[in-house]
A and B are shown apart, each in its own frame.
Chain A
Amino acid sequence: MVRVVAALVAVLAGAAPAGAGAAGPRPQPAVGNQAQSAASARSPQRALLDRYCVTCHNQRLLTGGLALDVADVSRVGEAPDVWEAVVLKLRGGMMPPAGRPRPDGAALDELRGWLEAELDRAAAAAVEPGRVPTHRLNRAEYANAVRDLLALDIDAEALLPADDTGHGFDNLAGTLALSPALMERYLTAARRISRLAVGDPAIGPGLTSRTYTVPIAMTQNDRMNAALPFGSRGGLAVRHRFPLDGEYVFTVRLKRSVYEYIVNLDEAHDLDVRIDGRRVARFTVGGAAPGKPAPVSFSGTFVAAGASEYPTQDWDDYRTGADAGLVVRVPVRAGARVVGVAFADKSWEHEGVLQPELREYGATVTETTDTSPRPEGPGLESVTIDGPYAATGPGETASRARVFVCRPDAADTGGEGCARTILARLARRAYRRPVGDADLEPLLAFYRAGREALREGQGRVAEGYRTGRRQESLREGDAESSREELSSEGSGPGQESSPEGRGADRREGRAAEGYRAGDADYREERAAAFEAGIQAAVERLLIDPEFLFRIERDPAGAAPGAPYRLPDLALASRLSFFLWSSIPDDELLDLAERGRLSDPGVVEDQVRRMLADPRASALVDNFAGQWLTLRSVAGIAPDPNLFPHFDENLREALRRETELFFESQLREDRSVVELLSADYTFLNERLARHYGIPGVTGSHYRRVSLAGREPAAARRLGLLGHGSILAVTSYGNRTSPVLRAKWLLENVLGTPPAPPPPDIPPLPTGGGAGEPRTVRERLAQHRASPACANCHAPMDPLGFALENFDAIGGWRERDAGVPIDASAVLADGVTAFEGPRGLRRVLLDRSDQFVETVAEKLFVYALGRGVEPHDRPVIRGIVRAAAADDHRWSSLVLGIVESAPFRMRRSES
């Protein structure tokens, strides 16, 4: 670190990049064409290489692409790609391979240390910051930018496609391409976002209506969400954006078995619909089945048979249609509101034979046949929110407050003065730089066009919210029918709507400032035209290349291929996209505009401020989510016959545990090593039950200490005990020590294994007489082939140590009836260890390797490009400097932020 900073300072201070040393041609590989000097042949390094390495790594065999016989070890700095590869293998203890002659560990460590020092020295003499090309915002960055720009949460997954990944992350400049298809999506998104942000009065029910579905395999026994009241059971809570003040229709559908029978209707249950916690409707469902029920049968009930007396048709109709009337229409004020739909919980005493929660078909045995009561009662399948109908105004949303910072006054004819103010603020944030008239003119052109279009538009939209009312009348048929359903429901005992829920929103009509007094119609028309203009300008802003791309421009007259220091504005964007996956805020932009980021200590203060900000949770979602492969938890598919207890609740808990754990480590600024060793985690009842840890009740997550507790808790220390990671490294029907080892090598030790060859023989199937049964035995057979052993022998043992964890991360003592053998030996062939505890100890002994891996991953994520050989000395420097601060997260982040690759860029050569 010290050296890197020194070099950086030297470059920054120099009027011109410091001569040939810094700006000279990039080092040429030394392989193959350089004669060895007699001196180097006799050096101890050369002697060691000759004795242990060149048998395979020579010009003729080129094993692993390395010809160490001709590589000049006296000029290491000239071939960083060769020697960094050697360092990597030595760091992992992977060379020489087990079974080959091998010097003692100290000699290897010495060679590695010497090589690293040589490489670092060479790098310090010539700053090479690398070059991140123009960077398109990825989906997460786009959504966060819209949130920060317009105070609008969008459903990015519905609007934009997923981005391609490289080096494990989806924010790499090199992979973020733009196709015509994607441009189409940006156009569509820009229109939709701008209309929602201003509250376009022409928004009809088509634009934002949405159905929220509870996965069929979600067990609905408990309170499902912190946004639902205590004493509720099942259902869901979602944050839905209501685009306008108006009426919305909520349609509730109950959970069905695959045979389309509503499940668990035997008893009556109350079902509440709430908006922002306030109840707007209560339904009663169940307990009212007429007629005679059906007998048990393999595929539902056979009313169709018709021949027998039971089940009767009315019973059958009830079981398929009892939720037909669960519709309520209520006025809601515009904005993002939490819609909660849940049952009032009842006390139940469990009777009858215990059944697994869920089986194949995503339903329990009893649900499939639907004849016996289940303790939990009915569930929710979906809620559809449809509207607005009879819109009365755009309301007072956070987005409108953010956008409409002014209103045209009487003197401001055409509203251009205010429009200019609004658009200047938005454009500055969107483009992440100061803006001038030339930037505003194109936006104002759209403002004018939008305003005029509305004025001329057959008076259609100019009538303001009368448009919404007209749409309403077009749909009168639908609306009438839902009203009828409502009133019939309302007259019965089943449903009561809360009076405060119905009237409250009506009192405030179109309350926006500026068009209250005077000639209301005229003012409203003027306001509508003004807002239409702003909408058009925002739409234009959102497809601007300066919004969609992060462009770093080489300084005018820069020498080709020369490193230069990034201006403060570019640095501000790098900081905010690194720490927040979003655009800079006003404070950061202000500092950058005034050139203050170069002042000593300012960047550090900003980094600490930004890490403390809620937006830093982007590091959890996007950095940890990808580095620790948490996003893959969504895709695991455990075999329901082997894991009948796996439900969506567990899937969610697995992911949340690791997210919350990582976030707490980050927020508390712990040493990154604690990821492996921390003696606490985050559990809810479902996950605690999975882990066999007692004393955790309820569906909310809380921090649980694992220190000094029973074995079930002790096994869960650190990341290696997290079910999320254990499950994503398994197949649906078995564990995979190979995948787990690969995960550890890549993400913890930073020494990824070579990719598998194309012609792999299949793993022997187990189970026959005299055949291996456990996965471990089957892999042992696989390794009997020399071709396979080459890669698997050093790799698999890491995974064997975790064999006590099954394919969904539960603890087991046996596999295929045989006691688990969790003993293992490291790649060096000597270090033996056993079980998760032993593995943890081995990894903690190599914590320097882990820290370097974290730094490397964070470096890739921060810059949006892969690590090049010339970056390795920088990363080693960051790790060395951070050691003084116990490798806390902030020390790694600051190390990266202060490094040459983050602060500088090489101009185009």
Chain B
Amino acid sequence: MIITRKAIPRRTVLRGVGAAVALPLLDGMVPAATALARTAARPVPRFGVVYIPNGVVIDEWTPAGDGAGFAFSPILAPLEPFRDRVLVLTGLTQNVNGLTARSGAVHGRCATKFLTGAIPRPFGQEGNDFLADVSLDQLVAREIGAETPIGSLELSLESGDKGAGTCDGGYSCTYSHTISWRGPRTPLPMEHNPRVVFERMFGDGGSTDPAARRARAERRRSLLDSVRGKAADLSRGLGPSDAARLGEYLDAVRDIERRIQGAEAQAARELPAFDQPAGVPAGFADHARLMFDLQVLAWQSDLTRVITFMVGREFSSRTYPEIGAPGGHHPLSHEGSAASREQLVRINKHHAEQFAYYVDRLAATADGDGSLLDHAIVYYGAGMAEGDHRPWNLPLVVAGGGGGRLAGGRHVRYAGGAGGGRSVDGGTPLANLHVTVLEKLGMRVDRLHDSTGRLDL
């Protein structure tokens, strides 16, 4: 074997660790200085995606009338109280270039392309288990998540337990179980257990109680203080190459200590008392609201600024007997009868009610000179129009004020999205929305995926 004395670039190593580590757990501490200082002049940008599976009953979703004078549809009616902070977009498509003519992954491609712009590749071809591209939320997280303790959160209401198998015509289940990709080969798993999410945000102390957070910071500070001295002692007398590793250790210790100092200031910031959830609530709505509460908490404490959330994985067959929709969501979406349609509309509206709960919480939570809702941009929508897997004429709502850059209260229609037949050419790509939103978040890109321009929002 030829062994070359190949240095392993430090960047590579760190990237590898970072990818595996996912994200550091940072004590519920935040760079408080940034959070508090950036208020009126330039509010903290935040970006969220709430994804619903299996499409919707599009006729019951699409509002009547255009522009400011539109009327909320039956499904979107729960959002009516927030009219000024809501944009309804009709007619955007993921279908440009006729790519959807391919067979396979009829669900997975809708979910995967939604934020990545990439068409999934089938399982096992030349060893590629999965392959997509960096998703929009991760692009945003690289930029606005760089300063926060947690770069981004990926959440779901359904566990990915079945993720190891194949779904959807021989494609990896990953394509239907996540919409978030850190890189072409790095899908990010969606966490559905509120207990785990809480622990990731606030550690194992069991509550958001400021005293507990302070105690944790204090404990860590004394631990780090103690080992810092020892590491410095140890590295004395070591040659440079042996001392290098201890140098990394010392750097890491100082890095964490620095952030603890920020956290001390932040600990003064009152968070609602919130105990660590014991597990996954049994009811859908309870689970959904708890997960939305955690998202509000994550933004409120500035632990993270980017969250993607799947109300269900694509292909979800969850039943909703509690609202009179006992048929499985996915089977229902393929039924043509009036009875099944009625159940589907109930499910769609039930989802919208949960989203409205989230919007309401965001509107009620103060942030700088306004509310979280004033400063955030949140997608709510699906990667296909209806259960027939057509990825055009997508159901989409954009909520939030984007820090004054996004004016709500309108229903906007885009041409070419009406569909008809098995495919459409042209139309307005969903990626145009992504490009527009990136700009409003302060990131200017000329093109993304198959974008052809910007939307006037």
Residues of A within 8 A of B (CB): 85, 88, 131, 133-136, 161-162, 164, 166-167, 174-185, 187-188, 190-192, 204-207, 209, 213, 215-217, 258-260, 297-307, 313, 316-317, 320, 360-362, 381-382, 384, 386, 442, 445-446, 449, 474-475, 478, 539-540, 543-546, 548-549, 551-554, 556, 635, 637-641, 731-733, 746, 750-752, 853, 856, 866-869, 907-908
For A302, the chain B residues whose CB sits under 8 A away are 327, 331, 335, 340
A134-B243, A549-B249, A908-B240 given; name 7 further pairs at CB < 8 Å: A166-B8, A177-B248, A206-B195, A543-B223, A553-B238, A856-B1, A868-B3
For B204, the chain A residues whose CB sits under 8 A away are 188, 191-192, 206-207
Give the interface size bracket for B toward A: 35 or more
Roughly how many angstroms separate A554 CA and B318 CA in the complex, as a whole number? Answer: 64
Q: Within 8 Å of chain A (Cβ to Cβ): is B161?
A: yes
A134–B162 contact, CB under 8 A? no
Of all chain B residues, the one with the shortest Cβ separation from A195 is: B204
Of all chain B residues, the one with the shortest Cβ separation from A556 is: B237
For B279, the chain A residues whose CB sits under 8 A away are 205, 209, 384, 386
Taking CB atoms and an 8 Å cut-off, the chain B residues in 162-185 that contact chain A are: 162, 164-170, 172
A-B contacts, 16 listed (Cβ < 8 Å): A164-B16, A179-B252, A182-B252, A216-B165, A299-B334, A300-B331, A302-B335, A304-B340, A307-B339, A361-B165, A362-B162, A362-B164, A362-B167, A551-B242, A638-B124, A732-B123
Roughly how many angstroms separate A305 CA and B335 CA in the complex, as a whole number? Answer: 7
Roughly how many angstroms separate A731 CA and B122 CA in the complex, as a whole number? Answer: 12
B227–A545 contact, CB under 8 A? yes
For B251, the chain A residues whose CB sits under 8 A away are 180
Q: Within 8 Å of chain A (Cβ to Cβ): is B244?
A: yes
For B168, the chain A residues whose CB sits under 8 A away are 361
A306–B339 contact, CB under 8 A? yes
Roughly how many angstroms separate A544 CA and B340 CA in the complex, as a whole number? Answer: 62
For A731, the chain B residues whose CB sits under 8 A away are 124-127
What distance in Å separates the Cβ of B230 from its nearest Cβ neighbour in chain A?
6
A317-B326, A640-B170, A908-B239 known; A539+B275 contact, CB < 8 A: no
For A540, the chain B residues whose CB sits under 8 A away are 223, 226-227
For A207, the chain B residues whose CB sits under 8 A away are 204
B23–A177 contact, CB under 8 A? no
For A638, the chain B residues whose CB sits under 8 A away are 124
What distance in Å separates the Cβ of B129 from its nearest Cβ neighbour in chain A?
5
B242–A260 contact, CB under 8 A? no
B252–A752 contact, CB under 8 A? no
Contact of A181 among B1, B18, B203, B332 (CB under 8 A): B18
Contact of B245 among A88, A546, A549, A556 (CB under 8 A): A549
For A732, the chain B residues whose CB sits under 8 A away are 123-125, 127, 129
A174-B8, A305-B335, A635-B129 known; A133+B245 contact, CB < 8 A: yes
Q: Within 8 Å of chain A (Cβ to Cβ): is B103?
A: no
A752–B2 contact, CB under 8 A? yes
A258–B21 contact, CB under 8 A? no
For B21, the chain A residues whose CB sits under 8 A away are 161, 179, 181-182, 184-185
A133–B1 contact, CB under 8 A? no
What 8 pairs between A and B have smallest CB-CB spacing? A732-B124, A304-B327, A908-B239, A362-B165, A161-B20, A183-B252, A306-B339, A180-B255
For B222, the chain A residues whose CB sits under 8 A away are 446, 449
Contact of A305 among B124, B206, B239, B340 (CB under 8 A): B340
What distance in Å separates the Cβ of B259 from its nearest Cβ neighbour in chain A?
9
Tell me which of A174, A300, A304 has the highest count of chain B C-beta atoms within 10 A of its own C-beta. Answer: A304
For B17, the chain A residues whose CB sits under 8 A away are 161, 164, 177, 179, 181-182
A206–B331 contact, CB under 8 A? no
What distance in Å separates the Cβ of A545 from its nearest Cβ neighbour in chain B?
5
A177–B241 contact, CB under 8 A? no
Contact of B242 among A298, A552, A733, A750 (CB under 8 A): A552
For A446, the chain B residues whose CB sits under 8 A away are 222-223, 226
Q: Within 8 Å of chain A (Cβ to Cβ): is B234?
A: yes
Roughly how many angstroms separate A400 CA and B196 CA in the complex, as a whole number? Answer: 27
For B206, the chain A residues whose CB sits under 8 A away are 204, 206
What distance in Å separates the Cβ of A410 from its nearest Cβ neighbour in chain B?
31
Roughly how many angstroms separate A162 CA and B13 CA in the complex, as a whole number? Answer: 12
Contact of B166 among A135, A190, A360 (CB under 8 A): A360
For B335, the chain A residues whose CB sits under 8 A away are 302, 304-305
B249–A183 contact, CB under 8 A? yes
A867–B3 contact, CB under 8 A? yes
Q: Within 8 Å of chain A (Cβ to Cβ): is B418?
A: no
Of all chain A residues, the one with the shortest Cβ separation from B23 is: A181
Roughly how many angstroms separate A382 CA and B249 CA in the complex, as a whole number? Answer: 40
For A866, the chain B residues whose CB sits under 8 A away are 3, 5
Roughly how many angstroms separate A561 CA and B161 CA in the complex, as a whole number? Answer: 54
Roughly how many angstroms separate A188 CA and B26 CA in the complex, as a whole number? Answer: 10
A161-B20, A182-B252 known; A639+B14 contact, CB < 8 A: no
Q: Within 8 Å of chain A (Cβ to Cβ): is B371?
A: no
Taking CB atoms and an 8 Å cut-off, the chain B residues in 23-76 that contact chain A are: 23-26
For A543, the chain B residues whose CB sits under 8 A away are 223, 227
For B1, the chain A residues whose CB sits under 8 A away are 88, 746, 750-752, 853, 856, 867
Roughly how many angstroms separate A125 CA and B18 CA in the complex, as a whole number? Answer: 45
Roughly how many angstroms separate A747 CA and B161 CA in the complex, as a whole number? Answer: 35
What distance in Å separates the Cβ of A64 from its nearest Cβ neighbour in chain B?
9
B242–A133 contact, CB under 8 A? yes
Q: Within 8 Å of chain A (Cβ to Cβ): is B276?
A: yes
Roughly how many angstroms separate A209 CA and B193 CA in the complex, as a whole number? Answer: 11
A545–B231 contact, CB under 8 A? yes
Q: Within 8 Å of chain A (Cβ to Cβ): is B10?
A: yes
What distance in Å separates the Cβ of B201 from its nearest Cβ neighbour in chain A?
13
For B319, the chain A residues whose CB sits under 8 A away are 260, 320
Of all chain B residues, the one with the shortest Cβ separation from A161 is: B20
A180-B255, A731-B126 known; A259+B317 contact, CB < 8 A: yes
Taking CB atoms and an 8 Å cut-off, the chain B residues in 195-253 that contact chain A are: 195, 198-199, 203-204, 206, 220, 222-223, 226-227, 230-231, 234, 237-246, 248-249, 251-253
Of all chain A residues, the one with the shortest Cβ separation from B343 is: A304
What distance in Å separates the Cβ of A181 from its nearest Cβ neighbour in chain B?
4
Q: Within 8 Å of chain A (Cβ to Cβ): is B99?
A: no
Of all chain A residues, the one with the shortest Cβ separation from B387 is: A299
A215-B165, A640-B170 known; A303+B327 contact, CB < 8 A: yes
What distance in Å separates the Cβ of A169 from its nearest Cβ neighbour in chain B?
13
Taking CB atoms and an 8 Å cut-off, the chain B residues in 314-335 that contact chain A are: 315, 317-319, 321, 325-328, 330-332, 334-335
What distance in Å separates the Cβ of A790 from its nearest Cβ neighbour in chain B?
17
- Per-residue CB contact flags for chain B residues 69-108 toward chain A (1 = under 8 Å, else 0) read 0000000000000000000000000000000000000000
A907–B239 contact, CB under 8 A? yes
Of all chain B residues, the one with the shortest Cβ separation from A547 is: B227
For B165, the chain A residues whose CB sits under 8 A away are 215-217, 361-362
Q: Within 8 Å of chain A (Cβ to Cβ): is B415?
A: no
- Per-residue CB contact flags for chain B residues 117-132 toward chain A (1 = under 8 Å, else 0) read 0000001111101000
Tell me which of A382, A474, A732 has the highest count of chain B C-beta atoms within 10 A of its own C-beta. Answer: A732
Roughly how many angstroms separate A186 CA and B246 CA in the complex, as a whole number? Answer: 15
For A192, the chain B residues whose CB sits under 8 A away are 204
Roughly how many angstroms separate A442 CA and B204 CA in the complex, as a whole number? Answer: 24
Roughly how many angstroms separate A449 CA and B222 CA in the complex, as a whole number? Answer: 10
What distance in Å separates the Cβ of B32 from its nearest Cβ neighbour in chain A?
18
A637–B172 contact, CB under 8 A? yes
Roughly how many angstroms separate A553 CA and B242 CA in the complex, as a whole number? Answer: 8
Roughly how many angstroms separate A372 CA and B169 CA in the complex, as a whole number? Answer: 23
Roughly how many angstroms separate A176 CA and B244 CA in the complex, as a whole number? Answer: 12
Q: Within 8 Å of chain A (Cβ to Cβ): is B256?
A: yes
For A303, the chain B residues whose CB sits under 8 A away are 326-327
For A135, the chain B residues whose CB sits under 8 A away are 245
For B334, the chain A residues whose CB sits under 8 A away are 298-299
Roughly how many angstroms separate A862 CA and B200 CA in the complex, as a whole number? Answer: 36
Roughly how many angstroms separate A67 CA and B263 CA in the complex, as a whole number? Answer: 60
Q: Within 8 Å of chain A (Cβ to Cβ): is B278?
A: yes
What distance in Å separates the Cβ of B436 from its nearest Cβ neighbour in chain A?
33
Of all chain B residues, the one with the shortest Cβ separation from A449 is: B222
